[in-house]
Structure 1
Amino acid sequence: MKLHSIKHILYTLLSVIFLLPTITRAQKTLKPITESDYHLWYDLHLSKLSLNGSWVSYTLSNLEIDSLCIQETKGTKSYRFKDGYGLQFLGDHKAAFGIKNQMVYLDLTSGHMTYYPKKTEFAISDDQTYIFRLEKDTNKLSIIHDRDSDSLTISNVNKYSYDETSDRLAIIIKDSNTYSMEVIALKKGFPKITILAPQKRPILQIGWHPKGKALAYALTSSENSAGFLGYYHFENKTEKHFDPLISNNFPKSHILEPSWEYPFMFSLDGSKIFFAHKRREAVQSSEIPQVWKYTDPFPYKIMNATQGWKNTSHVSVWDVKKNKSLRITDEEFPQAIYKNANNQVLVYNQSTYGFKTHYRNRIDLYGMNLVTGKRTLLIKKYDHSINQLKRSPSGRFLLYGHQGQWWCYDMKKQKKINLTAKYSSPESYKIMMNGLESPVGWNENETAVFMYDKYDLWKVFLDDKTPVRITRGKEKGITYSLINPHIKSETPYVNEQALFFSMTKGLLRGYAYSKNKKNIHTIDFKSFYTERSISSPDGKSIAYTTETNKRPTAIKYFSIQNKKLKTLVQSNPHYKTYQWYHTDTITYSNKHGKRLIGTLRYPIGYQKDSLYPMIVNIYEKKSQFYNDYINPSQYNHSGVNASNLTSKGYFVFLPDIVYEVGEPGFSAVDCIVSGTKAAIKTAAIDPKRIGLTGYSFGGYETMFTITQTHLFTAAAAGAGISSFNWNYVTTEQQIAYRYYMHEDYQFRLKNSLYDDYQGYLDNSPLYHAKNVQTPLLLYAGDKDDHVSYKQSIAFHLALKRLHRENALLIYPGETHSIIAPTHQRDITRKIEQWFGHYLKDESKAGWTP
């Protein structure tokens, strides 16, 4: 060995020896977390990227901090505004947002700020050239050129509508008691056209031709009129007007009425206008007493309000060229979908098959021809969400999921295509909680759809071409999901030149991109948790959050142009000065040999030669939160905070739970007990000091578990169900039956109560209350309509009669989550006091029995 190499080794060893005391001192200087430190931690939430990704916005919040932040992505400039809210980027160098009672217009480059009244709205033209500012207190609209002095101010503006296709503004002017409308072109001199001269009817709605060639509007009704429709064509300067009452099929009792369900809009070809209408006076029931009929598809509250669909909004269509209208919805077919439609819309009746026993109610879906009015059955007993019925941007194709597969219906050829069968086998679909994951978009000429299997994104052609797999996740067990930028359509055209993806494999998370249809490049792929990711509107950059169980949330940024991953902000930088807990995974199996994962968080300052208490926190699957960084806090909607507990000497265990259909309670107990026993064997956990807690469905699981095992020393259950039998025959906020929740949803009982009465009893905690030996804290809100607080009262009364140790907390005004900060703090403290007494021999709190 060469002499200089020996000297180098000796020097290194000496350096380490001399540095050891320094390292040890540094480790010992880490501070313990106390309740007085909790206020230092805050939440970071990623909000938006500007047009070209030059700026990112995010918020910082806790009870003491509420700040809006704007950060430069390619430089170091940043802004922070206390009590800022509602930010919108205006192009890439301007922004508008609110602060208390003001609106702020900010030049991001210079930092110059202009203040306006709170009721001021900002927007920007599609080419980012003109900024619109409407001061609603003074009804003044300003149109400002972003790069020169060209501007226009208009007074008495009631509202306006911008059309990005034609680059025009329609402006409604209210002067005294009259209303008029002008259209202004966004070009030099702002040339304008008067569409509607001053008249006394308010203008209800404005709609734009898909290609910007025309404009339509609706005027309000009067005592003798249902309202009027108007139309103006910019190229040939023609005007048309229409009185719906002249149509034979327009209900004489109806008036034009805006509806969120049925927006005022043109057909795709611009030849027709869809408009909503409603009864002038709602039908009122004079029934005393209330009459609840077994044939009713909805609870009485809905039946009484809708009166057999008589009182709901309806939609008709005006054929501008023929100057006549056609009614689309009626009491037989009261629902319609017409987005991206030309001559055919979709109609259905959501109560065709009676009351709801499945998560998605079955419907018969019809196509309605807008020329003939004829309805044709398209899908019998459609069994997916209405929101998953998606027409292509051109309107020709309809995508829908049915009986476990994805289909495409060609409106032109009246032909169905089984998309799923083209590229995948059923066992490899990517399954979501309530069905197959939706297709994500189309190629630009609508010859192919982008879809998922279990791992990858595919380009599936409508003809006989072989499907193309875009990603290569299957070989490595990685699941890819597309991140769409700035979606303006339900199923948009996918820009194949620049794609961003999220990546998932077990505890690993990451992001990737492809450019110009070439290989997939990984940006970041590690063990971390990500809450949110966004891509810039131009589709060339991405920002996302990342955190681990030891590091708080950070925001990272990546641009396809420079291909560099950059950390923009790290929240809670003081975390490095505090002691923190260690997190590990526990593997175990249920009685069927199914391998499961649990997350075990160690007490801070853990010493393996001491025994520690453990609290098991349950709710279905929890392993996805392995890398979730939990800010210590006294304000928690469920009352449980792992960071609080680990700082107070507890292990916290989160087991994964899998279920058997028909046996939700027993299968949960199997997983919870198996996981808990595996955790006890892993570390220095005292088997005589084990707590159990859960909220909502976890509250139910907690109650049921302590009826089946005496493994747990104490328990706390929030907002849980104690009796499936009783819950089955109640309503959700008096607007929906709960049958489906038991037969086809989270409760997983499969059959109706009357086909498996004993099964409902067997899986209900109330039925086994006499077995409880574990002291139980129950809590709920008295305004909870999702899980009635009376379920907690029932279990409390059962345990009371049996002389079992328990306490019940009812929080006034709270719904299914504890929201009020005073109540959050109270339940957090009381749960810690409850477990502190039973698991750590602390003195009983004064409120406990």
Structure 2
Amino acid sequence: MKVIRHLLIVILILLQGFYYISAAYSDSPNININPTNRNNDLHYSVSIVGNSENLKWMVLRKWYYKNSDSTLVFSRASNQKPVLNLYKMTDFKFINEDHLLAFGNGNAEYYDLKSMSLKKYENVIQTSTLKMNGEHMLYAILQKDGHLLICTKDSKIIYQLDGIHSFQAIDNNGFIANQYTSGQSNLIKITPSDLKTIYTTEKKVESVVFSSDKQYILIRTRSTTSDLDAVNLKTNHLSKIRVSAIIRDFDEIEISAISKESYLIQTRKKILPDRTSPEIWYGNESNIKSIYKGKLNKIFFIWDADNNRLEKLESTPDEVFVAFNNSNYLLKYDPNLRHNYTEQIPTVQLKLYSISTKKEIILSTCTGINYKSPEIIYNSEGRYIMGSDDHKYWNLWDLKTMSTIKINRENLKTPFFTPDNQHIYFDSKEGLCRYDITLKKLSSLEAVENSLETKILNGDADRQFNEYYFAMHTINPNKPLLIRNYDFYNNEVNYDVLIKGKIKHIIPITKNRITDFVWNPSLDQYIYLEENHNFPTSLFIQTRKEEKKKIFQSNPNDHLASTLKSEIIRYKNSTGRDLQGTLYYPAYFNSEKKYPMVVKIYQIQRYKTNEYMVSGNASYVAFDKRALLESGYFVFEPDIAYGNEGTGYGALNCVNTAMDSIQGNKNINFSKVALIGHSHGGYSTNFIATHSNRFATYISGAGNSDIVRSYFSYNRNFNSPFYFQFESGQYQMPPFSENKDLYFKNNPIHYVENVDVPILLWAGKKDENIFWEQVQEFYIGLKRNSKDVIALFYPDVGHDLGRETWQKEDMHRRSMEWLNYFLKDKTDVEWIKRQMSKSKF
């Protein structure tokens, strides 16, 4: 009877959906249900993952917590109902306007969306489409057995090939298929009208690399030498490149066009760290990460394709050459030279290398404006180069006259050259600007609002594939320019089109969040997603002449969202900077009641104000804003910005000022307020916990507790000494040696004895961003001072506990239980009671 009774109890527990997973230690037998588990499959987010060129059709993916298998296809005429529901498809390609090729999970489906006819293909490993003269002509299906099908847009098979390992589509050129059959390797060029073998060898082809201009392919075969074969894709001419005379072996190769028949070839060889001898850390080492990751030895060549001549460029293994549409020069830099790690990514010394004289001159030091890494923008002819040496101002180099001009205006963001090379357009934090290269004059375009942060969306960017941002940027002002305007102060956005100097408003100023903005080639039709905290993400289509039309609204059963209320709270930090916080009201708010509140901190958080809230485990780690609102909490997310007082005191002052600004709200129970933060927010939470008496409890995850130790640590997530994060990153502090007292004053562990309310700490034990022992040390300091603390250390996960892990789910549950325990007096939670009972372990 006892056995039967125990079995019945187990079955009952399983049927009720209860679960329990232990964290740092095994709990006593207490079964808990996730209080928001009912929502895990109810709410989902969406994204646009495909569209036809003229936006007649669009594909939307639904993202649940552990399921993103569902995609919906809509027509321009749809009204909530999709024309297709696809399952386990991950890639979508439209062929002309009315045909869709979907691929995923080993299957491909080809739809004629007009007739809704379907062609299915099984055991598929690769799909692609081919454009010829601007029109999609063919699609290709490669199956696991090496069978390649080439089909017309009407799904008629025109070619079938066996023994295919891989293929690639080169628009306006054809498919290039890599075939191995009967002991012979072939490269086959496939066009709508022809199928031709352009390369044959008895050796197996190991890699096929296309030049940046798609003029040549470099072929490496399995052989005893490192020689390469090159095929001209227009003439099918074969050249033998005798690399083996210069280099014996390499792992990777890249080829970039310098001019019509001149190419820059780069080979890379991975050198692994020596694990048989001690690590040697030199004081003058500028590439410390190589101790852990190894090095890439790079060798560069100039290949004269016309005469098949190969010339090795003299350089160190770290130096990099970059082609930039200039037949006379290359750019050259060493990414590690004199790197002292005060910045995560170093400022590099940019050189100009003369191809003819083999001499080089120093142009300037180079850093970024839009990125923390060095940034170089050049025009289509390679005459003009733009870069910055100070993170503030753009420099313009004219390589014809060898002159340099500094454009003396801050807040200019991304430059775009006009085709005639007479002007440079800038988006900026102060509207749209144009620089006259001849007159050396910068002016604002009057048609564009100059008080808003402006971004050009349809400029052309052809980026180099190196570790930094080197790219050709062009824009044609005679065609419509699509512009996004952002008002930081009010967190508002609008979209405009600039046509012949006149503005046409597309999306008027809105507080809603606009994402996945897509346009057709003529810029007169647009699709996008729109959402806010109080309405689910919706898909809209809009034309230049008509009002927007809703195609689809996600989460149609989420009727509660429209009732959710928020309020913007404005305040200033110690330097007088305007900040804001978002105060979210509890669901089913009753003005006659008082509610507890959760304050979540990081840095600037206003960007989250208009996000649709998905609850359950899909929410932010250890912080489920939607579930908190539904459980009867206020949620407050204040901005934090720092002054000269240091990071910790800066956060404390901002939080205090923000809290002071809502003291008049009579519905908040200020005796039941929690503070919660993760990562940098975890550090701020730790510091505030040692300096404040405003909160009833704290939850701090993966945050620093000893910033002096952190400053002098090596961060394996960034592969860098971590002091860069303090001097030029989030902490915004001076060097430690210049103001040690500031570090001591802003160090949470120095004041750990001042924490006077219960605190929950957590970390992943594989965290390589903030070392998990920082959390452990704060726990030990609290324990030494007999404070109420519980620390959760999760195995096998890192900084954010992973996306779909039991660790994240467990932390989600425990954070809700912790808040309910201390803010709602729901104290029947054994794992918390074990600490709060004050009994010895």
Decide: shared fold, TM above 0.5: yes
Give the CA deviation at 1:397. 2.4
Contact 1:170 1:182 in 2 (8 A): yes
Aligned position for 2:693: 710
Aligned position for 1:688: 671
1:264 aligned onto 2:255: yes
Deviations 1:15-65 (A, max 9, x none): xxxxxxxxxxxxxxxxxx975355321111222332112122211121475
Distance 2:737 2:560 in 1: 59
1:612-761 alignment, distance < 5 Å: 612-661=595-644, 663-733=646-716, 735-751=719-735, 753-761=736-744
Aligned position for 2:774: 791
1:504 aligned onto 2:503: no
1:215 aligned onto 2:205: no
Distance 1:741 1:377 in 2: 29
SS at structure 2 position matched to 1:366: strand
1:479 aligned onto 2:480: no
Distance 1:135 1:154 in 2: 9
Distance 1:692 1:643 in 2: 17
Distance 2:104 2:186 in 1: 34
Distance 2:560 2:672 in 1: 31
Distance 1:233 1:546 in 2: 45
Deviations 1:231-253 (A, max 9, x none): 43746x7543221244xxx34xx
Aligned position for 2:385: 398
The structure-2 alpha-carbon separation of the partners of 1:169 and 1:670, relative to structure 1 and needing over 3 Å to count, comes to: same
Distance 2:418 2:460 in 1: 16
1:168 aligned onto 2:143: no
SS at structure 1 position matched to 2:781: helix
Q: Which range is displaced more, 684-693 or 116-125?
A: 116-125
Aligned position for 1:123: 129
Distance 1:339 1:640 in 2: 47
The structure-2 alpha-carbon separation of the partners of 1:750 and 1:326, relative to structure 1 and needing over 3 Å to count, comes to: farther
Identity %: 18
Give the CA deviation at 1:465. 6.9
1:409-428 alignment, distance < 5 Å: 409-418=397-406, 420-421=407-408, 425-426=409-410
Aligned position for 2:429: 454
SS at structure 1 position matched to 2:474: coil
SS at structure 2 position matched to 1:288: coil
Aligned position for 2:310: 325
- Residue from 69, 74, 88 that aligns with 1:71: 74
Distance 1:488 1:109 in 2: 35
Aligned position for 1:575: 558
Deviations 1:409-428 (A, max 9, x none): 2333333233x33xxx33xx
Distance 1:377 1:486 in 2: 28
Q: Return the letter of the residue paired with 1:619.
A: Y
SS at structure 2 position matched to 1:826: helix
Distance 1:533 1:130 in 2: 27
Aligned position for 2:146: 139
Distance 1:199 1:64 in 2: 47
Contact 2:36 2:615 in 1 (8 A): no
Give the CA deviation at 1:670. 0.4
The structure-2 alpha-carbon separation of the partners of 1:80 and 1:809, relative to structure 1 and needing over 3 Å to count, comes to: same
Deviations 1:745-774 (A, max 9, x none): 1111121x2332222221111111111112
Distance 1:764 1:38 in 2: 39
Aligned position for 1:240: 239
Distance 2:782 2:361 in 1: 58
Aligned position for 1:25: none
The structure-2 alpha-carbon separation of the partners of 1:828 and 1:296, relative to structure 1 and needing over 3 Å to count, comes to: same
TM-score by length of 2: 0.86
1:347 aligned onto 2:347: no
Give the CA deviation at 1:719. 0.9
Deviations 1:505-553 (A, max 9, x none): 2132222223355333243322212243233456443222211221111
Deviations 1:617-674 (A, max 9, x none): 1111112222222122244342111221122121111111110146111011001011
Give the CA deviation at 1:784. 0.8
Distance 1:796 1:57 in 2: 49
Aligned position for 1:28: none
1:59 aligned onto 2:61: yes
Q: Return the letter of the residue paired with 1:493.
A: T
1:438 aligned onto 2:414: yes
Contact 2:266 2:301 in 1 (8 A): yes
1:105 aligned onto 2:80: no
Contact 1:85 1:97 in 2 (8 A): yes
SS at structure 1 position matched to 2:282: coil
Q: Which range is displaced more, 662-671 or 732-741?
A: 732-741
Give the CA deviation at 1:555. 1.6
TM-score by length of 1: 0.86
Give the CA deviation at 1:473. 4.6
Give the CA deviation at 1:296. 1.4
Give the CA deviation at 1:319. 1.5
Q: Return the letter of the residue paired with 2:812.
A: T
Q: Return the letter of the residue paired with 1:222.
A: S
Give the CA deviation at 1:147. 5.7
Give the CA deviation at 1:775. 1.1
SS at structure 1 position matched to 2:90: strand
Q: Return the letter of the residue paired with 1:479.
A: E
Distance 1:684 1:757 in 2: 43
1:373 aligned onto 2:373: no
1:801-840 alignment, distance < 5 Å: 801-819=784-802, 820-840=804-824
Distance 1:809 1:738 in 2: 25
The structure-2 alpha-carbon separation of the partners of 1:163 and 1:666, relative to structure 1 and needing over 3 Å to count, comes to: same
1:555 aligned onto 2:562: no
The structure-2 alpha-carbon separation of the partners of 1:87 and 1:709, relative to structure 1 and needing over 3 Å to count, comes to: same
Distance 1:501 1:201 in 2: 50
Q: Return the letter of the residue paired with 2:481.
A: L
SS at structure 1 position matched to 2:690: helix
SS at structure 2 position matched to 1:754: helix
Contact 1:296 1:303 in 2 (8 A): no
Q: Any gaps of 5 or more consecutive residues in structure 2?
A: 1-34, 464-470, 836-841
Q: Return the letter of the residue paired with 2:229.
A: L
Give the CA deviation at 1:131. 1.8
Contact 2:428 2:454 in 1 (8 A): no
Q: Any gaps of 5 or more consecutive residues in structure 1?
A: 1-32, 431-436
Give the CA deviation at 1:70. 1.6
Residue correspondences, number: 779
Q: Return the letter of the residue paired with 1:775.
A: P
Contact 1:329 1:347 in 2 (8 A): no
Distance 2:203 2:800 in 1: 48
Distance 1:221 1:526 in 2: 59
Give the CA deviation at 1:451. 0.6
The structure-2 alpha-carbon separation of the partners of 1:589 and 1:793, relative to structure 1 and needing over 3 Å to count, comes to: same
1:289 aligned onto 2:278: yes
Distance 1:529 1:232 in 2: 48
Distance 1:579 1:516 in 2: 41
1:226 aligned onto 2:214: no
Distance 2:773 2:181 in 1: 56
Give the CA deviation at 1:566. 1.6
Aligned position for 1:767: 750
Aligned position for 1:197: 200
